[in-house]
Amino acid sequence: MNQWFPDYPARDADIVDYHPFTLDGCPVPFRGPGFDPLAVPEDSFFTCVGAAQTYGCFVERPFPDLLADQLGLSALNLAVGGGGPGFYLQYPALIAAMNRGRFVVVQAMAARHEANSRFAADGYVEFLRDRKRGDSIDTVSAWCRVLEEEPDNAPRLVAESQASWLDSMRRLCAAITVPMVFLWFSQRPPAAPAWPDLLADVGRRPADELVHRMYGAFPQLVNAAMADEAAAMCTAVVSCVSERGMGAPLINRWTGKPIDPSDYRNRGVEYVALATGRNDYYPSPEMHEDAAAALLGATRGLRPLYRPANGDNATRGPEQ
């Protein structure tokens, strides 16, 4: 397995302190302030799983923190940048932590790093292993290979990755024994790629440009049918489609002034998000406020009706 995970605390050190922490049984640093979920009372916290949007890149207080304030609970933020549902299935300790909380918010995560007949998943974060060449590469490079080497197979391979995503969601939801809230948190409603238009430009436009068109806005490669099927596995469904506050300048927390983009150029691909000096990708603080507000009504009364015993699943539902 490729052990690459985005190092947001190092990348964004001039903008926000993420208070990184780890849990026993998983090497990945999560966003804090953290706590040991095995050392606090059951039901005293809730868990959020997802990608960079739930992690809260560039945001001082992401929606898990805002929601925790309103509910009077602690929030265990187990989001990992670029993560998909299959990521959590690799670490039983994370599942055990979730199942001690009151409920789990499951963000709609991307499908770009799911397996298909050309690629095997490699960590369910940002890498795919090419079954033909045997190497492990980032997802954009992987899908560029598809469009350059076998473009006619692209729709089929995307459909296979989408089916794999749904399988990962089914297994994750089956492993979680407390109520789950499916959260669609994006700048777009679910949609599918326009394949005829996309394939017509293969060879005429750069492959990476076409890959990003194929992806669409986050969550990449996830469409309405997939979202509906995943939502049906959960206790409640919340949608937050917002662009409020996007494009704001990034502020240096030491000086209180906008960052100098030139400080982050030529420092590697991981710094591209800072090289413009503005946040044009991750949800803004205002969008996190929108997400917390949307989640409040759906989560206020959620709690396990009983705790599972002997491996049985808990009944999921609102407090009676």
Q: Residue 20 maps to which CATH number?
A: 3.40.50
Decide: helix, strand or coil at residue 245. coil
Q: Tell whether the model's pLDDT for residue 276 goes beyond 80.
A: yes
Read off the amino acid at residue 96. A
How sure is the predictor about 4, in pLDDT bands with cuts at 50, 70 and 90?
low
Sign of CA dihedral 274, 256, 62, 26: positive
How sure is the predictor about 170, in pLDDT bands with cuts at 50, 70 and 90?
very high
Evaluate whether residue 3 is within a structural domain. no
> pLDDT (tens digit, 9 = 90+) per residue, 51-67?
999 999 999 999 999 99
Evaluate whether residue 53 is within a structural domain. yes
- Rounded to an integer, what is the distance from CA 3 to the centroid of its chain? 17
Average pLDDT over the chain, rounded to whole?
90
Nearest to 123 by CA among 160, 158, 91, 163: 91
Q: What are phi and psi of 106, to 5 degrees?
A: -105, 105
Which pair of tokens denotes residue 289?
């406020």
Decide: helix, strand or coil at residue 257. coil
Evaluate whether residue 255 is within a structural domain. no
Query: Torsion-angle region of residue 277: left (phi > 0), alpha (psi -120 to 50) or beta?
Result: left
Q: Taking a C-beta distance cutoff of 8 angstroms, is the pair 104, 37 a contact? A: no
Evaluate whether residue 79 is within a structural domain. yes
How sure is the predictor about 72, in pLDDT bands with cuts at 50, 70 and 90?
very high
Evaluate whether residue 307 is within a structural domain. no
- Put simply, whether the predicted model's pTM sits higher than 0.75 gets the answer yes
Compute the distance between CA of residue 9 and CA of residue 303 in angstroms, rounded to an integer. Answer: 32
Evaluate whether residue 228 is within a structural domain. yes
pLDDT, average across residues 290-296: 98
Compute the distance between CA of residue 125 and CA of residue 111 in angstroms, rounded to an integer. Answer: 10
pLDDT, average across residues 167-182: 97
Q: Tell whether the model's pLDDT for residue 309 goes beyond 80.
A: no
How sure is the predictor about 316, in pLDDT bands with cuts at 50, 70 and 90?
very low
How many folded domains does the chain comprise?
A: 1
Q: Taking a C-beta distance cutoff of 8 angstroms, is the pair 83, 124 a contact? A: yes
**Peptide linkage before 33 cis (omega within 30 of 0):** yes
Q: What are phi and psi of 198, to 5 degrees?
A: -65, -50
Nearest to 303 by CA among 292, 291, 314: 314
> pLDDT (tens digit, 9 = 90+) per residue, 87-116?
999 999 999 999 999 999 999 999 999 999
How sure is the predictor about 30, in pLDDT bands with cuts at 50, 70 and 90?
very high
> pLDDT (tens digit, 9 = 90+) per residue, 235-275?
999 999 999 999 999 999 999 999 999 998 888 777 888 99
Decide: helix, strand or coil at residue 80. coil
Evaluate whether residue 197 is within a structural domain. yes
Question: What is the domain range of residue 220?
Answer: 8-246+283-299
Evaluate whether residue 275 is within a structural domain. no
Query: Torsion-angle region of residue 250: left (phi > 0), alpha (psi -120 to 50) or beta?
Result: beta
